[in-house]
Amino acid sequence: MTRLTEAQRAEFDALRQLYEAELPDKLGLIAGAADALRAGGWDKSDLQAFYMLIHKLTGSAAIYGFDGISRAAGDLEMWALAGLTDGVPEPRRVELLPLVSALQDAFAAGGKSKVRRRASPPHR
């Protein structure tokens, strides 16, 4: 494994701080997308948008060392992927809010501020 130079370490730390500052908005978008999914009657396009947000967070949080957030996002990612494959029957729908809460709890465990709930992104 290659060791980082001091300059590379400083650059990575700056990127990590920027990422950390953006986490409340990222998690807010996810919470908003979960709300849209529930309010929209579990529409597949809403589920796809939700999945994409979660998928991105799972990987990026791990890269920047937010392992708890990455694990919680990974659980949500698996839930959403299963929903895209098999649909989201009523018994699985009740799992969404506890999984989103676990993600928010992982964020809070890092001593971060409250997640700001944001509207979900537009469909593409």
What pLDDT, in 10s, does the model give residues 13-44?
A: 999 999 999 999 999 999 999 999 999 889 99
CA–CA separation, 93 vs 13, rounded Å? 38
What pTM, to 2 d.p., does this model score? 0.84
Counting every residue written for the chain, the total comes to: 124
pLDDT at 93 exceeding the cut of 50: yes
What pLDDT, in 10s, does the model give residues 38-77?
A: 998 899 999 999 999 999 999 999 999 999 999 999 999 9
